[in-house]
Structure 1
Amino acid sequence: MCGIAGIIQLNDDRSHLSKIEEMMARAAHRGPDGQGVFISGKVAFGHRRLSIIDLTDSGAQPMSDELNQYHITYNGEIYNYLEIKQQLVKYGYSFRGDSDTEVLLTAYRHWGEACVSKFNGMWSFAILDCVRNIVFSSRDRIGEKPFYFHRSPEQFLFASEIRQILPEMLRITGNRAMLDRFLFGVSGEDFSDTFFKGVHKLPAGHNMVFDLFTDQMRVYPFYNLEETKVSVPQTFEAQAEAFQELFSDSVRLRLRSDVTVGTCLSGGLDSSSIACMASSYLSETVAQPFKAITAVSTDRSRDESGFAKVVAEANGLELHLIKPEYDQFRSKIRNVVKAQEEPFGTASIFMQYEVMSSAKANSIKVLLDGQGADELLLGYERYFAPYMQQLIRRRKFKQLWQQAKNINANNAFVSFAGLAKYYGYFNSSSIRKWRLRQKFHFLPFSDVISQQVESYALNSRDLSDLQRSEITHSNLPPLLRFEDKNAMWHSVETRLPYLDHRLIEFCLSLPVESKIAHGWTKYILRHSMEKKMPEEIVWRTNKFGFEAPQSSWVQAHTPEMLKVISSSLLVQTLLASETHVKQAVLIPELLWKLYIISLWEDEFKVTDIA
């Protein structure tokens, strides 16, 4: 994993291409192992290298083919690069080194833009194709790796991080629509916009072709979850066997590395399953124990470290425990805002930041993590409500009653009343809009907010639609953004086995009853792991994750938060009056969000909003 950047000059002044060096310097943390620049005609590519596969100079970037017709700057990992390389060798290609970068570039030479359909991995890259006189760019199917861009009359810029682009913009303006959505809490991520006006994202699963003759760009999708239904076995036992094979192979591929690989371990089902699978594979080839990092919460009622210790002991893991305290939070929160580049809604992002810091301190250059399992396997308790509604529509009342009793028994934080309230609130856009207007009466309720509420309510009526929405838009994308920024700030690569596209397609094609059964979420995963992990992990009735003790930290930090908010011009613009600001900070979630917006404004010199 690395950092990339590029400039395409749209006028005759080529002197600006030298700024590629400055753009790469701003992302030095993403690639401390090397830097490279390539300039040809009106195009400049830059690269910062984090060496993971093929640590020799043959893996350095930007990389060119032997005929100097194709040039690439690339961030990510193609996990099946060895298999693709074997195919390409059969077609007559030869290779100078052992990097996945060279395989990617050669795959483009052979298959053209269709090469991305061959990849199992995470990526964002740009290829200068001198034969067609284009720059071809792509972002992986789910959006694990970022690709930001900005266009002005003079130049087109792209980069791994927003900070690489901002100094080249005339003014730094906040995106009003994104800030409003953030404050109302109605949407996780926009497909193409960021919190900075004029800075855009290449959407996940999309390619971009920039024509160097005409300076026109074309963005198009190469992957669509709506079109990915695959055939699955008829019986649950056969489905579980197929799931286990895919999951196991996904973990195996993500262990390919020439540096140390470890794992995040919360003690929950998702991360524990990865740790179990990975340690089993590595024990066959590596003498040292597999390393895991766990964050201990100072809030004992939300602390999972005891479960992580059980998993570590059962699998012979080398467990590293960290325990972030309030004083660390107070001294580092501005660093987290700087690393994240865009506002974030909870202090749990700080816990993840500290986990990545520990990985770097312990020389763990690659970390596996469990992002995506909840979205794929209906792991959040909130999925119970539309599931029960689905049973009602099918008139399966006996099954509904039995499932309701099982759900209540097997989930510590779920009640009948809570399920009914959740379903009524999120499935009725009119009720939710009324509640949001009442709660946030001091904020303008725009058409954008109304549309987001209506869209979520519509998707919530069907579990398949809700799953796809949460994977592509409302839940997973911001989690991927948080993870990439936190990890790369510490020069750590994270890999996410649950987001193997084969596993995603299989899980989305499974019947609901294979994912929610007998009152359990993620049933097929529990069933697959019950003979491999301790029972108290597989059949846990509570779930936390790396949660921060937010309420106690915010309470201790409130005087400082109010001081920062009071000096924010953006907050005054967003809330229109001092009276509204005073009303807003009485709501804990808004106190936090306004504080983060204020820090973000200060860190990135945001002058206004539009």
Structure 2
Amino acid sequence: MCGIAGLYFFNDFARTKPNGLSDALLSLHWRGPDSRGTFASGNACLGHTRLSIIDTSAAAAQPFSDASQRYTLVFNGEIYNFRQLREKLKQKQVNFRSESDTEVLLHWLIDKGPEGINDLQGFFAFALYDKKEDTLLLARDRLGIKPLYYHRNSDKLLFASEMKGMMAMQIPKVIDCASLSVYLHLNYIPGPWTIFEGVYKLLPGYYMQVSRKGIESVQYYKIEAGPTTVSPPSDYDAAKQMLRTKLADSVIKRLVADVPLGAFLSGGIDSSIITALAAKEVKGLNTFSIGFRDEPMFDETHYARAVAKMHQTNHTEFKLSTDDLLGCVFDVMDYTDEPFADSSALAVYILSKETRKKVTVALSGDGADELFAGYNKHLAEWKVRHPSLAAKALKQLQPLLARLPQSRNNLLLNKIRQFNRFGSGMRQPAAERYWQWAGFTTNEQGNKLLLKQTEEAELNQRKSRWLKEISENGPIGEILLTDMQLVLPYDMLTKIDMMSMANSLEVRVPFLDHDLVNFVFSLPDAFKIDGRQRKKILRDAFREDLPAELYNRNKQGFEVPLLRWFRRELRSLIEDDLLSEEFVIHQQIFNYPEIKQLLTQLFSRNPGDAPARIWALLVFQYWWKKNLI
């Protein structure tokens, strides 16, 4: 895995100014600690930091130019079918000087142009400069596994793998108020917007052509729900077999590497299936899991051990205490270059850090929940659309439930919290229900926290764009499609990319092979969820490959003990520093009386979702203090 950054100049004067590219590459060091390179010619400057995975020799170093020096490429990612593409290029008398997928990608794009992106199997963000035509091609993979940021002004276009790189190239640092409002609701910022005005995320499945004439964005891939592009199998058993074949093929593609490789193994269904398939191809596969010493109800290492034993993997466990998690809080916040408050990033950071001590590449089970309806909210949505007497009763009782104590850190109070959210959601239209269940606040609560109110029209425009797939009486597949376009790229994949790259670890996600994704979205909803079982076809297809005990339990999630930390170890950080009255009033972003009220709720017997909301505020404040003072 790597980091890329660069500039394209729209006029000759802009080329004479300092551009900050060297500083950008320094900021991306952890993405590519093995080497660093730059290119400057014509109206483009390109930079690259390298984490060597395929062809680790200097012959594959980037920026990579063809023999004529007309084309130059910087590339972050992996092309899994590069050997097949290489053979096709050889038939056209293309000569190669390395064994890398980078060189294959370069020549494939030279031969096919932007349309050649459709032939790529893998994950990527890249920039290709054509010196003769003076054009720059930027592209991002179909599902947003690899990030790419950009900013344009009258003089130039800047791009980088991370916001750190953008800030190093001196972008304007003006807070986007609508993005901040959305962040306070979701705990992350969906694209194409970012925390800064005028800085954007290139959307998954898009490429951008840049020249002195202007910029053109083109969508080259979109998930199609239903049997529109893929002919679904005739029955459930045939679908199970096809799923097994396609997922096995996806795993095999992702085992190509010239460095040590392993797999995350949490003990859940998703990572266990990936491990089972990979272990058939790699004898003594390295697998890694983390357990929680102080939170036995969240510790799934015994399930991971059962899978490791069944498939004879070389298994490593990392047993953590809550103090271990607390100890990495500031490391995680230091690496986060845009406000991002999914607290499970702490566990992913430690898992990546420990895994990197033994391997350079790890397979992950991410993406299965979004594909196969694996979240509680998916089952809740099914029950809203097929209401039982109990569900109808919860809808009627919701106003009463809203008055009862609620907390994520207590089993009974968390159940009350969940029932209240479900009952409240039943009262909403489908799109509003999705938005409510995706977040931690109401729009009113979020706006009250801000001194400068966000224009409602702007927020509604963004929400409409993100929720456009959801109709009132449509299939559950619309919810899954929205998750694939919202939650997956901007929460789950952002978390995986940031925390793995912070530790120079490449993570590959077999569930997100685009051929597999297209197939799964061609299947009927009933194959995935039926009111009793989530991820139905995935569980059934691989039942013989996993220990029986994995199936006889509920889905487990880990809750970071935020409430305990805020009441004890992090209390002074809240009250004396980042959320103190002096700091907040001087900052002139937040409404301190509302923060004070939220803190009162946090320290009460009925904290509700206050810990998650305070965490989002703390992460933002830490980021703001580090980057904008």
Question: What TM-score do you get using the length of structure 1 for normalisation?
Answer: 0.88
Indicate the larger mover: 78-87 or 550-559.
Answer: 550-559
Q: Percent identity?
A: 29
The unaligned stretches of length 5 or more in structure 2 are 393-411, 602-609
Give per-residue Cα distances to partners, 1:46-80, cap 9 Å, x unaligned. Answer: 11110000111121110011121211000000111
The 3 A distance-change label for structure 1 pair 270 and 414 is farther
Partner of residue 602, structure 1: 625
Indicate the larger mover: 62-71 or 127-136.
Answer: 127-136
Q: Is the CA contact (8 Å cut-off) linking 1:46 and 1:62 kept in structure 2?
A: yes
Secondary structure of the 2:448 match is coil
* Cα displacement (A) at 1:426: 5.3
Q: Is the CA contact (8 Å cut-off) linking 1:297 and 1:549 kept in structure 2?
A: no
Partners of 1:83 and 1:574 in 2: how far apart? 54
The 3 A distance-change label for structure 1 pair 430 and 120 is closer
The 3 A distance-change label for structure 1 pair 295 and 64 is farther
* Cα displacement (A) at 1:330: 3.9
Partner of residue 591, structure 1: 614
Q: For 1:385, give the aligned amino acid.
A: A
Partner of residue 480, structure 1: 493
* Cα displacement (A) at 1:20: 2.2
Partner of residue 522, structure 1: 535
Indicate the larger mover: 164-173 or 133-142.
Answer: 164-173
Q: Is the CA contact (8 Å cut-off) linking 1:3 and 1:159 kept in structure 2?
A: yes
Secondary structure of the 2:588 match is helix
Partner of residue 80, structure 1: 81
Indicate the larger mover: 474-483 or 11-20.
Answer: 11-20
Partners of 2:534 and 2:565 in 1: how far apart? 31
The 3 A distance-change label for structure 1 pair 457 and 217 is closer
Give per-residue Cα distances to partners, 1:206-225, cap 9 Å, x unaligned. Answer: 001011x43x1111111112
Q: Determine which of 379, 403, 406 is the counterpart of 2:374.
A: 379
Partner of residue 548, structure 2: 535
Partner of residue 470, structure 2: 459
* Cα displacement (A) at 1:575: 3.0
Q: Is the CA contact (8 Å cut-off) linking 2:183 and 2:189 kept in structure 1?
A: no
Secondary structure of the 1:323 match is strand
Secondary structure of the 2:486 match is helix
- Please tell me the root mean square deviation across aligned C-alpha atoms, in Å: 3.0
* Cα displacement (A) at 1:42: 2.0
The 3 A distance-change label for structure 1 pair 38 and 450 is closer
Q: How does 1:81-480 map to 2 (within 5 A)?
A: 81-169=82-170, 171-185=172-186, 189-211=189-211, 213-214=212-213, 216-226=214-224, 229-283=229-283, 288-296=284-292, 298-360=294-356, 362-390=357-385, 421=423, 423-425=425-427, 427=429, 436=442, 442-443=448-449, 444=453, 446-447=455-456, 448-449=458-459, 456=467, 459=470, 461=472, 462=474, 463-480=476-493
Partners of 2:172 and 2:584 in 1: how far apart? 16
Give per-residue Cα distances to partners, 1:554-586, cap 9 Å, x unaligned. Answer: 33223322322225448953433x322201233
Indicate the larger mover: 161-170 or 104-113.
Answer: 161-170
Q: Determine which of 504, 520, 523 is the counterpart of 1:510.
A: 523
Q: Is the CA contact (8 Å cut-off) linking 2:264 and 2:288 kept in structure 1?
A: yes
Q: Determine which of 557, 573, 585 is the counterpart of 2:588.
A: 573
Partners of 1:370 and 1:300 in 2: how far apart? 22
Partners of 1:18 and 1:429 in 2: how far apart? 43
Partners of 1:226 and 1:357 in 2: how far apart? 37
The 3 A distance-change label for structure 1 pair 115 and 371 is same
Secondary structure of the 1:174 match is coil
Partners of 1:324 and 1:256 in 2: how far apart? 31
Q: Is the CA contact (8 Å cut-off) linking 1:322 and 1:358 kept in structure 2?
A: yes
* Cα displacement (A) at 1:40: 0.5
* Cα displacement (A) at 1:429: 6.5
Question: What TM-score do you get using the length of structure 2 for normalisation?
Answer: 0.85
Between the two proteins, the alignment pairs up a number of residues equal to: 581
Partners of 1:151 and 1:199 in 2: how far apart? 8
* Cα displacement (A) at 1:414: 8.9
Q: Is the CA contact (8 Å cut-off) linking 1:38 and 1:62 kept in structure 2?
A: yes
Partner of residue 32, structure 2: 31
Q: For 1:243, give the aligned amino acid.
A: L
1:562 maps onto 2:575 in alignment: yes
Q: For 1:27, give the aligned amino acid.
A: L
* Cα displacement (A) at 1:182: 1.6
The 3 A distance-change label for structure 1 pair 346 and 148 is closer
* Cα displacement (A) at 1:172: 2.0
Give per-residue Cα distances to partners, 1:165-206, cap 9 Å, x unaligned. Answer: 213336422221111112123x85432111122321111110
The 3 A distance-change label for structure 1 pair 42 and 509 is same
The unaligned stretches of length 5 or more in structure 1 are 402-411
Q: Is the CA contact (8 Å cut-off) linking 1:3 and 1:49 kept in structure 2?
A: yes
Indicate the larger mover: 219-228 or 274-283.
Answer: 219-228
* Cα displacement (A) at 1:441: 7.4
Q: For 2:593, give the aligned amino acid.
A: T
Partners of 2:133 and 2:312 in 1: how far apart? 54
Q: Is the CA contact (8 Å cut-off) linking 1:54 and 1:97 kept in structure 2?
A: yes
* Cα displacement (A) at 1:25: 1.4
Indicate the larger mover: 596-605 or 290-299.
Answer: 290-299
Q: For 1:240, give the aligned amino acid.
A: K
Partners of 2:355 and 2:217 in 1: how far apart? 36
Partners of 1:350 and 1:550 in 2: how far apart? 11
Secondary structure of the 1:210 match is strand
The 3 A distance-change label for structure 1 pair 333 and 419 is closer
Partners of 2:255 and 2:358 in 1: how far apart? 16
The 3 A distance-change label for structure 1 pair 324 and 417 is closer
Q: Is the CA contact (8 Å cut-off) linking 1:334 and 1:599 kept in structure 2?
A: no
